[in-house]
Chain A
């Protein structure tokens, strides 16, 4: 079960955001999409989610997404954008329930199957106690958990998340990363755009490093996020170590 991006390229007018990229991502992986600002991470993720026009083809289990119906595609790939929110003051449970829309036919009411998926997603994100709260009155950390629960509630084999931990405190960052890792371990393909290389190294099973719209590194966290690579692509010198068997990659100092 793989998501295959074949010669995928994204351009905005004349600017090339992602140059021709071929990538194969397997179920059960937590893939960290990292790279400096403007590297094309979000564009590549959006292309995979079918949200921006792109060249090349993307297929899941050898079925091109272009040949899937709108809702079938939505049942295959869930996407959580950066800094999402709700435009109306609905409750957290109602927000998460919107994730069930691809499973419902026109005018079909949500059934017990949908209620179970919503409850499960809320529980996974430790958001069950927030269910009846209005989303516009949640704190940043609470909102991030509810939004991730919305993406999980779609119950797709592929989950794409863009910057899920930005502007969260350390505890909530670890919490969200744990949920993503758990999803991968249960067999979901999770692809996350991450700015925090330390958390990427700690939690991801695979790192894809992008720079200037090209893949410049792909593999295990420690090998891709090497001191050389961080110096070359980020311009930083890291502190590298191991703690309890997990890699520690901490950007330490800017290289002039």
Chain B
């Protein structure tokens, strides 16, 4: 265990402490992001500042900007929160919400809806398919790993579910009824907040809320796990309980997020990493700041998309991957250097 200690510790970055509470920065940052997101829009001719004519200002704000801002907030917050919880649970700074198969399950569920051409019937069928896929993936995980399973089994089961979902998604693409359907599936999988309505918010929120609560209930258990599974259990926080709270919470909230926006990667990986030294490496203190920062990062990424020059709109998942991948690379390089030292 001491080997794992030094390994994850050095990867977790330095224990540099800032005496300022993270909320002092994150709360104003999130407010600024929300304000900008409500103020900046996009039309076919490129970015649009303000709300336009008084006649359309109301509908623009309430029917376009507000749902998009709310969704970015909820989805980004969910990704940041669940990333922080999973990294605490697995005591591994490389853990990510996609790890357990909830997102790929949701993606598969949505893809199947496209494949059978049901998406056109009702805009709600698509997110419902995603939620069903996420819940099915969790059920499968539970079935494969069992009630008291150790984390290695759970991660392996997650990898298997991811691979299986990816294979079925490819199969659906392979047999797509038309090139147009294939393209539609691909675009959806890239992840986007464009053209979402308040209905999507209302659909995702009832699943996200209990998901967040489950993760919140695991908070102290995550702190206890810092000392290893046996010590956590002796402190009154059995690892199995913490584990299923986090996994259930992640599946519900991330599943709901993917179901309404498609796959948005790297937010759940990058955000806990940046904030961890700031909260003194306590998994519990990391949760709420990661929600706020995840929401802010997603909002800013989505704002960046809207201020791009005229042309086809960039997908949000593409932007977060473009930001996240170099970050990930830098993490590996730094880890390598510290390993040499």
Residues of A within 8 A of B (CB): 46, 49-51, 70-71, 73-75, 77-81, 83-91, 94-95, 98-99, 101-102, 104, 106, 134, 136, 150, 154
Bound-complex Cα distance A98 to B235 (A) = 9
Query: Which residues of B in the span 227-260 have a Cβ within 8 Å of any Cβ on A?
Result: 227-228, 230-231, 233-238
Is B5 part of the binding interface, using a Cβ–Cβ cutoff of 8 Å? Answer: yes
Neighbour of A88 across the interface among B230, B235, B238, B283, CB < 8 A:
B283
Shortest distance from the beta carbon of B142 to any chain A beta carbon, whole Å: 20
A-B contact pairs, 5 of them (CB 8 A): A70-B237, A73-B236, A84-B1, A86-B227, A87-B5
Closest to A49 in B: B234
Chain B 323-334: CB-based contact to A (< 8 A → 1; otherwise 0): 000000000000
Query: Which residues of B in the span 65-119 have a Cβ within 8 Å of any Cβ on A?
Result: 91
Determine whether the beta carbon of A87 is less than 8 Å from that of B228: yes
Determine whether the beta carbon of A79 is less than 8 Å from that of B282: no
CB neighbours of A84 from chain B (8 A): 1, 227-228, 230-231
Determine whether the beta carbon of B233 is less than 8 Å from that of A83: no
CB neighbours of A94 from chain B (8 A): 280, 282
Shortest distance from the beta carbon of B262 to any chain A beta carbon, whole Å: 32
Determine whether the beta carbon of B15 is less than 8 Å from that of A74: no
Closest to A53 in B: B148
CB neighbours of B5 from chain A (8 A): 85-87, 136
Is B306 part of the binding interface, using a Cβ–Cβ cutoff of 8 Å? Answer: no
Determine whether the beta carbon of A79 is less than 8 Å from that of B231: yes
Closest to B230 in A: A81
Is B170 part of the binding interface, using a Cβ–Cβ cutoff of 8 Å? Answer: no
Bound-complex Cα distance A77 to B230 (A) = 13
Closest to A75 in B: B236
Residues of B within 8 A of A (CB): 1-2, 4-6, 8-10, 12, 14-15, 91, 220, 223-228, 230-231, 233-238, 276, 280-283
Given A90-B280, A90-B281, A136-B5: A85 and B236 within 8 A (CB)? Answer: no
CB neighbours of B234 from chain A (8 A): 49-51, 74, 77-79, 81
Shortest distance from the beta carbon of B180 to any chain A beta carbon, whole Å: 49
Bound-complex Cα distance A49 to B232 (A) = 12
Determine whether the beta carbon of A86 is less than 8 Å from that of B15: no
Determine whether the beta carbon of B9 is less than 8 Å from that of A74: no
CB neighbours of B224 from chain A (8 A): 98, 101
Determine whether the beta carbon of A154 is less than 8 Å from that of B235: yes
Shortest distance from the beta carbon of B24 to any chain A beta carbon, whole Å: 19
Determine whether the beta carbon of A46 is less than 8 Å from that of B227: no
CB neighbours of A79 from chain B (8 A): 230-231, 234
* 8 closest Cβ pairs, A-B complex: A74-B236, A79-B234, A88-B281, A87-B91, A85-B5, A70-B236, A136-B9, A71-B236
Other A-B contacts than A85-B1, A89-B281, A102-B236, 12 sampled, CB-CB below 8 A, are: A49-B234, A51-B230, A70-B236, A85-B228, A87-B5, A101-B220, A101-B223, A101-B224, A101-B235, A101-B236, A136-B6, A136-B10
